[in-house]
Amino acid sequence: MKCPFCSSENTRVIDSRPADDNNSIRRRRLCDECGKRFTTYEKVETIPLIVIKKDNNREQYDRTKIEAGILRACHKRPISVNRINQLIDDVETEIFNREEKEIPSSVIGEIVMDKLKDLEAVAYVRFASVYREFKDVNTFMNELKKILDK
């Protein structure tokens, strides 16, 4: 860290503590060259994730949209809230582990379906029917056959 007074790069941390907002670290530093003290704040850098929709519009990632879709799919199914929250966390972790700045909504949908398939078959089919926009009963039956074959 460069000293703001003499521009020396010879500085050291003499005290660290959480800042008032608990979202950053406050560090007191001492310049070895001029002997002056100064304060720096260290904060986690977050990269905003942009979702590319089917119509090529872009919008900022919103966890509540995934929650809403999964909750609709799991409505009146014997799935605990803890398992649903864990599934949402798993989806979000997989999305952010890709370390991409933009992600197509279709990729998010496939991740959700993959996780729902392991959780509960009816919830999976409900989500898939909306996500894949089943046009008729035959498309619906084809998806059911895939599940039954496994």
Query: Which tens digits make up the pLDDT trace of 87-97?
Result: 999 999 899 88
Asked if residue 104 and residue 34 are part of one domain, the reply reads: no
Asked if residue 81 and residue 139 are part of one domain, the reply reads: yes
Asked if residue 123 and residue 58 are part of one domain, the reply reads: yes
Asked if residue 55 and residue 27 are part of one domain, the reply reads: no
SS3 148: helix
- Alpha carbon of residue 36 to chain centroid: 41
Residue 65 lies in a domain: yes
Query: Which tens digits make up the pLDDT trace of 1-40?
Result: 899 999 999 999 999 998 876 778 999 999 999 999 999 9
Look-up: residue for tokens 């979702």? 51
Domain count within the chain:
2
Domain carrying residue 83 = 50-149
Smallest CA-to-CA distance from 29 within 4, 49, 51 is with 4
- In whole angstroms, what is the distance from residue 138 CA to residue 149 CA? 16
Asked if residue 94 and residue 23 are part of one domain, the reply reads: no
Asked if residue 141 and residue 74 are part of one domain, the reply reads: yes
Asked if residue 88 and residue 23 are part of one domain, the reply reads: no
